[in-house]
Amino acid sequence: MMTRTQKTTILEMRAEGITYKTIAEHLGMSLGSVKMFVSRHNRADDRRCEQCGKLLPKGAGAAQRFCSTKCKNAWWKAHPGKSEGDKQLSCTCAICGKPFTTYKDSKYCSRACYYASMRKK
């Protein structure tokens, strides 16, 4: 059975970024006990928006990072290129030969070139 002091110490040390192993050694507990306690007490209602710092709404999904669309858009505008999907690729159109940039590996620079490719077949 964990004491109230141990519980608060675990949460404080995790908030500082200290590893489970270090916490377990410091408190003389098993690693599994520390991990289980943290997983049970790391609820979604304790998470904060990455943009404004407000608490996320109750029932927020595990993947939710922002409290609103406004915060999400502001964060992505301030952090361009943070995800793999943000990397632009340089391509050459298979129909007209013009160079263009895209976020995915595309063959055509426009819908007109795409439709032209369909007529060639």
Q: Which of 57, 46, 50 is nearest to 14 (CA)?
A: 46
**pLDDT exceeds 90 at position 80:** no
Q: Establish if 108 belongs to a structural domain.
A: yes
Chain segment 14-37, per-residue pLDDT in tens: 878 889 999 999 999 999 999 988
DSSP labels for 36-54? Answer: HHHHHH--GGG-B-TTT-P
pLDDT tens string 91-102? 899 999 999 888
pLDDT of residue 44: 45
Which of 22-26, 38-42, 44-48, 110-114 comes out lowest in average pLDDT? 44-48
Q: Give the residue numbers spanning the domain of 24.
A: 4-42
93 lies in a domain? yes
| Inside any domain, residue 66 | no
- Residue 59 falls inside a structural domain: no
Does 57 fall in a domain?
no
The answer to whether 105 touches 91, Cβ cutoff 8 Å, is yes
CATH at residue 27: 1.10.10
| Residue among 70, 102, 99, 68 at smallest CA distance from 87 | 102
pLDDT at 78: 86
Alpha helix (H) residue ranges in the chain: 4-15, 20-27, 31-41, 69-78, 111-120
Segment 44-77, tens digit of pLDDT: 446 788 889 888 877 777 788 888 899 988 988 8
